[in-house]
Amino acid sequence: MTTSQKGIAVVTGASSGIGAIYADRLARRGYDLILVARSPEKLDAVARRVAGATGRVVNVIAADLNHKPDLKRIETLLSANGGVAMLVNNAGVGALEPLLGSAVDEMEAMIELNVTALTRLTYAVVPALVARGGTVINISSAVAIAPEILNGVYGGTKAFVLAFSLSLHEELADKNLRVQAVLPGATATNFWDAAGGSADQLPSEMVMRSDDLVDAALAGYDRGELVTIPSLPDAADWDAYEAVRQKLIPSLSLSAPAARYRVGAVT
């Protein structure tokens, strides 16, 4: 194995599904890897497979990002590693039950993983990425813009990921940081089992294979997209959505209420 000139890609939630496929695809693109997930056995299996197929250097770190000492350990390791060129924030968990059927402690744990861990790992690597150039890829979800579809707390966490990505881009795009937010729809991974459901309950035309999802996301990355929605047939639809959002921004903070809210406006 030789050290990659592209540097190291860090992938969280890399022991299976989308994260494991990102590991394979990024190694084939010439990145060395640091893979993070809870299961050392599964991580080791992914590492052996990817290293054997690509010849890249693959290191694994078993850690539970919901466990604060583990999260801090990963932050420290990443911030001290001068070779990191890309962070793929893929680790996350979902929920299918509505608000009244959800345990608040489980919702808090989901926020800690989907929002807090993602934010802290991004903070750990961004200063160095700005200094030498690099990329953050955040795996959001289609529910970021359609929170009515699934559990609202889950949708809220993924809306945060999208908003955070847009803000990072606005603040740091001219400072060597490349940002991509990926918004998958229903994908054939263990997400459904972990969330207490099954992808088999969905119409087959709604569920994308995980390797197709990652390949599409990387195609969007190659196209320079800030936001990639792999199943969206016409990219112009997102452009129109974003154009309307941008049109709203100048009017979101003004010194006077809109005319419809003034005293006497409603009879």
Give the pairing of strands 208-209 and 187-188. Answer: parallel
**The residue to which tokens 């129109």 are assigned:** 240
For 84, phi then psi, to 5°, come to: -70, 125
Alpha-carbon gap, residue 82 to 68, rounded angstroms? 23
Comparing CA positions, the residue from 51, 67, 69 lying closest to residue 2 is 51
Alpha-carbon gap, residue 56 to 159, rounded angstroms? 34
Question: Which of 154, 221, 241, 261 is an active site residue?
Answer: 154
Q: Concatenated DSSP letters for 208-258? A: EEHHHHHHHHHHHHHTT-SEE-TT-S-HHHHHHHHHHHHHHGGGSS-SS--
For 217, phi then psi, to 5°, come to: -60, -40
**Contact 109/91 with Cβ under 8 angstroms?**
no
Comparing CA positions, the residue from 168, 191, 60 lying closest to residue 118 is 168
241 catalytic? Reply is: no
For the chain, what is the radius of gyration of the CA atoms?
A: 20
Contacts of 51 (CB under 8 A, 6+ apart): 1, 27, 57, 58
Active-site annotation, residues: 154
